Amino acid sequence: MESKLRAGILGATGAVGQNYAFLLENHPWFEITYLAASPQSAGKTYGEAVASKWHMNKDLPKKLSSIILRDANLVSKAVGNCDFVFSSYEGAKEEIMRVEEEYAAAGIPVISNNSAHRFTEDVPMIIPEINPLHLDIINAQRENRGWGKGFIVTKPNCSIQSFMAPIYALMKRGYKPSTLIVSTEQALSGAGFPGVPSLAITDNIVPYIPGEEEKTEKEPLKILGKIEDGKIENCSGLKISATCTRVPVRDGHTALVNVKFSGSKPSLEDIIEVWNGFKGFPQNSQLPSAPVNPIIYRPEPDRPQPVKDRDSENGMTVTVGRLRECDVFDYKFVGLSHNTIRGAAGGAILTAELLSYLRYLTPRM
């Protein structure tokens, strides 16, 4: 790119916001120029605001430490200071929707990590390797709402990243998964900071995470859907039943998946070949954050494991293993993805790269 696009972060002091700050350091296409958080943090430097709660394993980037935090509610402060924003703004659903819509109405595109707009019918929910064509709805979204250059794009919940690409790769090859039983073992970092109390998770598994099962069952249907009459219609013909648990792992969401096919059933060898050869738009376009291999199949009987596999290709790949026949359905396998990178900030950054490549993100004058 001739010059970097100016990126803002809403909710910059939170765990996801800090991941954005960490992952965008030295990004070849984007430069952070605007940071915003709650009214309580507004006016402080970013370094002051996160001094006692910096959660990354690397020091705060020095060039960000002196940036003055703005009140995320005051959209006027962002105008002229950034070309687009990443949103990890925390609050009630109605408040998040209002704030993100105000930025879009002001001509500032929003790439959101939040769930508030995931089921808004003209807002695409993107996994770049799976449904980049859903970005075509942006023009209808702008027209529906009278927005100029602004728009809203969301990323899906982190719990589905560990099985969606493997399932979609098979669909792309012409096979038809019809039923999935998914059990997730979700890392502690998915609950944010401070998250789950230590006495609740040490020597324990919590078999309930509010809202996760509904997201795991419903979000894939929108991602696999199609645009019809200016809105995204859910995929039909696929049913998902999910159980979501919290486990004492720091990072990395694991999914235990049983899959049944309608029509032609692939062989074990076919499935592995499909997974190993899968590429999507980000790989074919060589986007900066795209993993070379969006899916890695591990043949070892005890893989994938969070500690050994979550950081594969900078935390942006999905690792699968333990593929075997199922006595009830057709096959079963284990999938793993890094929930705070691929499942959160990293996935949103890859979406922003896709938007930039397709010229939906352009410099504001």
CB-based burial, 107-139: b 16+ in 10 Å, e otherwise: bbbbbbbbbbbbebebbbbbbbbbbbebbebbe
Active site residue 158: yes
The one catalytic residue among 82, 134, 158, 244: 158
Are 258 and 279 spatial neighbours (Cβ–Cβ below 8 Å)?
no
Please say whether the beta carbons of 60 and 11 come within 8 A.
no
| Helix ranges, the chain (H) | 15-23, 46-50, 62-65, 93-105, 138-145, 161-172, 198-201, 212-223, 268-277, 281-284, 306-309, 312-315, 346-357
Residue 302 neighbours by CB under 8 Å, 6+ apart: none
Look up 117 and say whether it is catalytic: no
Phi–psi pair at 179, nearest 5 degrees:
-145, 135
Residue of 117, 134, 244, 253 with catalytic role: 253
Nearest to 351 by CA among 281, 296, 272: 281
Distance between CA 350 and CA 342 in Å, rounded?
9
Q: Which residues are catalytic?
A: 158, 253
